[in-house]
Amino acid sequence: MPSSFQAVAVLVFALLPGALYVWSFERQAGRYGIGASDRVLRFIGVSAIFLAFLAAPLYWLYSRFWDRFVSGEDLPLALATIPILYIATPILIGTTIGVGLRRGRRWVRWLTGPDPAPRAWDHLFQYRQDGWIRCRMKSGVWLAGAYATANGRQSYSAGYPEEQDLYLAATVAVDPETGAFEIDDKGDPVVGSGGLLLQWSEIEYLEFIDA
């Protein structure tokens, strides 16, 4: 354990890139971790990777400018960009990978693994693909809605580790006993003007149909 303020400062400085990367990635892709300990291990590991690449440049900066900094000498103005890059780089990389995962980019799998989502629920909704959702509730009633942007609102699914609930921006008319879609004259499902909020604990069966 660190025994001084300097040691704590060095520890925070070393772990900061990983923490910023994980925060930026999860901001886009969701909290893909088993728990707090798993997330800590992730940003420690990512920090180690960043420091492996930054060790030589950081040592050069230390050997070249640290004594001048301590003695209060003037430093090149360009050095002011170093802290910005140290913070901005992991944020940019984490955001890029998170967006790539959300959009289903194949190259992201080389970094996240083939199955990063912790639950089937998260795997289904992580790409935010538009579609029709039809549910048979535990009460026996069928309900349906559009998982898309509709009625001026966007559908939403809660991600790990939150309780699984689902907001559908537009309801879709179905037979409450059979679940069959009601079709209009153009052959499309009849979409309502209201939304639908569902809890997974109340759902017996869920079908996702690509739009």
Is the domain of 87 the same as that of 129? no
Q: Measured at the alpha carbon of residue 75, what is the angle toward residues 70 and 77, in degrees to the nearest 5?
A: 140
Is the domain of 17 the same as that of 96? yes
Is the domain of 144 the same as that of 100? no
CATH code for position 183: 2.30.30.100
Task: For residues 104 and 106, give the distance between their C-alpha atoms in angstroms, rounded to a whole number.
Answer: 6
Is the domain of 63 the same as that of 157? no
Is the domain of 133 the same as that of 95? no
> Which residue among 90, 112, 134 closes a domain?
112
> Which residue range(s) make up the domain with 100?
5-112
Pick from 175, 179, 174, 171: nearest CA to 197: 171
DSSP classification of residue 77: G
pLDDT per position as a tens digit, 81-134: 888 888 999 999 999 998 888 887 888 888 777 777 788 898 888 878 899 999
Is the domain of 91 the same as that of 108? yes
> Which residue among 86, 112, 138 closes a domain?
112
* Per-residue burial over 128-159, b = 16 or more CB atoms within 10 Å of its CB, e = otherwise: eeeebbbbbeeeeebbbbbbbebeeeebbbbb
Q: Helix crossing, 81-102 with 36-70: angle to 10°?
A: 160
What is the chain's alpha carbon radius of gyration, rounded to the nearest angstrom? 24
On whether the CB atoms of residues 106 and 159 are closer than 8 A, the answer is no
The confidence score (pLDDT) of residue 51 equals 86
Tokens of 55: 């060790």
Tokens of 130: 């538009």
Pinpoint the alpha helices (H) of 32-173.
Answer: 36-70, 81-102, 109-112, 120-125
pLDDT per position as a tens digit, 178-196: 999 999 888 889 999 899 9
Is the domain of 90 the same as that of 145? no
Is the domain of 132 the same as that of 197? yes
Is the domain of 54 the same as that of 107? yes
pLDDT per position as a tens digit, 122-170: 888 887 889 999 999 999 999 999 999 998 999 999 988 788 999 999 9
The confidence score (pLDDT) of residue 35 equals 63
Is the domain of 10 the same as that of 104? yes
Is the domain of 74 the same as that of 125? no
> Which residue among 112, 144, 159 closes a domain?
112
Burial of 40 (0-12, 13-18, 19+ CB in 10 A): middle
With cut-offs at 50, 70 and 90, classify the pLDDT of residue 206: very high
Is the domain of 60 the same as that of 99? yes
Taking residues 72-84, report their average pLDDT: 84
Structural domains in the chain (count): 2
Task: For residues 200 and 135, give the distance between their C-alpha atoms in angstroms, rounded to a whole number.
Answer: 10
Tokens of 83: 């802290």
Task: For residues 29 and 44, give the distance between their C-alpha atoms in angstroms, rounded to a whole number.
Answer: 19
Sign for the pseudo-dihedral over CA of 38, 42, 48, 51: negative
How many C-beta atoms lie closer than 10 Å to residue 47's C-beta? 21
